[in-house]
Amino acid sequence: AQKVTQAQTEISVVEKEDVTLDCVYETRDTTYYLFWYKQPPSGELVFLIRRNSFDEQNEISGRYSWNFQKSTSSFNFTITASQVVDSAVYFCALTSGYSTLTFGKGTMLLVSP
C-alpha cells in the first residue's frame, strides 16, 4: 500500500520568510511519481511539479524549490521569500503509474504581511 505523510498540518510565517513543507512517502514500487499541488482559498487544485523516482535532481522554479531524497523517502518543498499570495493548502501526492494517485492530508500555509 502507498502512503503519503505531510506531518505539518499548519504553518504560519511572516512575509519574506523561507518555509519548507515536508512530504514523506511510502511505496514498495521502484518506479513511482511524486507531485505537489497547490489549493488556494478559491478552492481549485493547481499542479506545481512532477518528479519520477529515477530523477533525484533538485529543481528550482523561481521562488519554489524541491528536494527529492530517495534515501529518506522525502520530497520536500521550499518557498523562498514567501508572499501573501503563497497562502494556500499544499498537497503532496504519489502514484506508481497504474495506481491511484494517493494524496497526503495537506499542509495549510498562512503567510501574513
Partner 1 sequence: EAQVTQNPRYLITVTGKKLTVTCSQNMNHEYMSWYRQDPGLGLRQIYYSMNVEVTDKGDVPEGYKVSRKEKRNFPLILESPSPNQTSLYFCASSLLASGGETQYFGPGTRLLVL
Contact positions vs partner 1 (CB under 8 A): 31-33, 35, 37, 43-45, 47, 50, 52, 91, 95-98, 100-101, 103-106
Residue (61 or 113) nearer to partner 1, CB? 61
Residue given cell 522554479 in the structure block: 61
Least distance in Å: CB of 28 to partner 1? 16
Instruction: Give the list of residues 6+ apart from residue 78 with CB closer than 8 angstroms, or none.
Output: 18, 19, 20, 21, 64, 65, 66, 67
Closest of 52, 107, 101, 44 to residue 78, by C-alpha: 107
CB 61 within 8 A of CB 36: no
First to last CA, the chain: 41
Least distance in Å: CB of 50 to partner 1? 5
CB 102 within 8 A of CB 94: yes
Residue (64 or 80) nearer to partner 1, CB? 64
Residue (16 or 105) nearer to partner 1, CB? 105
Least distance in Å: CB of 49 to partner 1? 9
Least distance in Å: CB of 48 to partner 1? 10
